[in-house]
Amino acid sequence: MKNKEWDQLYVNGTLCTLDPADSSFGLIKDGALAIKDNLIAWLGKRSDLPADYSSEVEINLNQQVLTPGLIDCHTHLVYAGNRADEFEKRLNGATYEEIAKSGGGILSTVKATRQASFDELLEQTIPRAKQLKESGVTTVEIKSGYGLDFDSEIKILKVAKKIGELLGLRVKTTFLGAHSIPPEFKNRAEDYINFLCAEMIPVIANEKLADFVDVFSEKIAFNLEQTKKIFECASEYGLGIKCHAEQLSNIGATELAARFKAVSVDHLEFLDEDGVKAIAKSGTTAVLLPGAFYFLREQQLPPIDLLRKHEVPIAIATDCNPGTSPVTSLTLIMNMACTLFRLTPLEALRGVTINAAKALGMENKIGSLEVGKIADVAIWDIRHPAELSYSIGFRSSST
């Protein structure tokens, strides 16, 4: 029978399906998973394998655990330089003001990223992408936002796509021109927003350089009116919407994003119940970023119980960036989500698989082991998937 001629078959391991129909990890002990044309063709107990199957390759999992490939749904992976000097200065007693005056902060990364050539930027980003891959990641979202001018933003998005090709990672790109106001537009935020809407978003949409548009909506960044203009423009060009919202204060960005049917709102430490209700209604995923919470030594926890109460899907991500979350291990983030935010290991794993897929609008294709989905898998030398959250930091996998 033709449909049982598989390309690849995994046997003798535990499958962690995360099938949404199962209220737990969806474990199948002594399972088997077959792949045909890069899609999951069959999965179940090994003893239930059809009698007439054949497979080109058979892989013995040796009792290891096979999960869906992990998804890092919020990163700023492409940047030049780093901010270790700033980190050191701060720990030696310098204030944020002093650091800003000496040219530190986000604009120092913007400067370095603008100066870097395409190849230099690629070369500096590859190690970070490799580390993510080693922590089980098969899909990564990458935002622009350290160029803040036409050529540099385009360069970042192209580097992001190239990373995917070179490393065999699925990359989804997000245009975050509204990350910060560049020096050329100092005190002219409106002009900068108009530039993004008139000159950048149309080109980015037409050249298919980004899947989503994101805004850092915050008292210290872009206000609600400016955020709305970007969302309107992105919607007009058919791009999906994401939002850095309610990280440092509550300005209502989440409710605005919900009105635009955003796929995700990210950070959310200061989100209130009205905001939670709004995203529950709009089907928006809440993306929590414990790395930035940890690095900034924040105190305000995101409203986890309210998100649970209103059944909002919760994703977690590295937020890999040089200023507030220089982390390239998604399993470390799973541990942080459990220790700092009190997520359960099941919630943490869903947060980097099926719910992270939702945060990218890809839940029908990736994020769980189900027949017909893309065969992205990660194989772990563990006995139970809770170990992924329990171990602090390093845990390598093969994907």
Q: Which stretch binds Zn ion (CB under 5 A): 108-116, 226-234, 316-324, 376-384?
A: 316-324
Per-position DSSP letters for 324-348, written without gaps between them: TB----HHHHHHHHHHHH---HHHH
At closest approach, how far in Å is the CB of 65 from Zn ion? 30
Nearest CA-CA partner of 369 in 10, 8, 6, 19:
19
Asked whether the beta carbons of 113 and 147 are under 8 A apart, the reply is: yes
3-state secondary structure of 351: helix
Which residue shows structure tokens 């719910």? 355
Between 287 and 378, name the residue whose CB sits nearer to Zn ion: 287
At closest approach, how far in Å is the CB of 194 from Zn ion? 24
Q: Nearest residue to Zn ion, using CB?
A: 319
Count of helices and strands (H, E) across the chain: 16, 14
Between 269 and 319, name the residue whose CB sits nearer to Zn ion: 319
At closest approach, how far in Å is the CB of 92 from Zn ion? 26
At closest approach, how far in Å is the CB of 44 from Zn ion? 39
Per-position DSSP letters for 177-217, written without gaps between them: EETS--GGGTT-HHHHHHHIIIIIHHHHHHTT--SEEEEEE
Between 9 and 156, name the residue whose CB sits nearer to Zn ion: 156
Q: Where are the beta strands (DSSP E) in 105-151?
A: 137-143
Q: Enter the tokens of residue 149.
A: 């001018």
Asked whether the beta carbons of 31 and 357 are under 8 A apart, the reply is: no
Between 153 and 319, name the residue whose CB sits nearer to Zn ion: 319
At closest approach, how far in Å is the CB of 139 from Zn ion? 17
Between 66 and 181, name the residue whose CB sits nearer to Zn ion: 181
Q: Which stretch binds Zn ion (CB under 5 A): 59-67, 177-185, 313-321, 391-399?
A: 313-321
Between 211 and 319, name the residue whose CB sits nearer to Zn ion: 319
Question: What's the chain's Rg over C-alpha atoms?
Answer: 21
Residues forming a β-bridge with 2: none
Q: Which stretch binds Zn ion (CB under 5 A): 112-120, 131-139, 204-212, 311-319?
A: 311-319
Between 358 and 373, name the residue whose CB sits nearer to Zn ion: 358
Between 246 and 319, name the residue whose CB sits nearer to Zn ion: 319
Distance CA 306, CA 242 (A): 21
Does residue 319 interact with Zn ion by CB under 5 A? yes
Distance CA 176, CA 11 (A): 43
At closest approach, how far in Å is the CB of 129 from Zn ion? 17
Q: Enter the tokens of residue 17.
A: 């399906």
At closest approach, how far in Å is the CB of 335 from Zn ion? 20
At closest approach, how far in Å is the CB of 165 from Zn ion? 24
Distance CA 122, CA 159 (A): 6
Between 122 and 265, name the residue whose CB sits nearer to Zn ion: 265
Helix axis angle, 150-167 to 106-115, nearest 10°: 80
At closest approach, how far in Å is the CB of 55 from Zn ion? 42
* Positions in 17-46 near Zn ion (CB under 5 A): none
Amino acid at 183: P
Q: Enter the tokens of residue 285.
A: 């995923």
Distance CA 13, CA 75 (A): 31
Q: Which stretch binds Zn ion (CB under 5 A): 11-19, 158-166, 201-209, 319-327?
A: 319-327
At closest approach, how far in Å is the CB of 370 from Zn ion? 30
Does residue 214 interact with Zn ion by CB under 5 A? no
Distance CA 292, CA 302 (A): 12
Q: Which stretch binds Zn ion (CB under 5 A): 182-190, 192-200, 228-236, 312-320?
A: 312-320
Between 255 and 319, name the residue whose CB sits nearer to Zn ion: 319
Q: Which stretch binds Zn ion (CB under 5 A): 12-20, 112-120, 315-323, 331-339?
A: 315-323
Amino acid at 241: I
Q: How many residues bind Zn ion (CB under 5 A)?
A: 1
Contact residues: Zn ion, CB under 5 A: 319
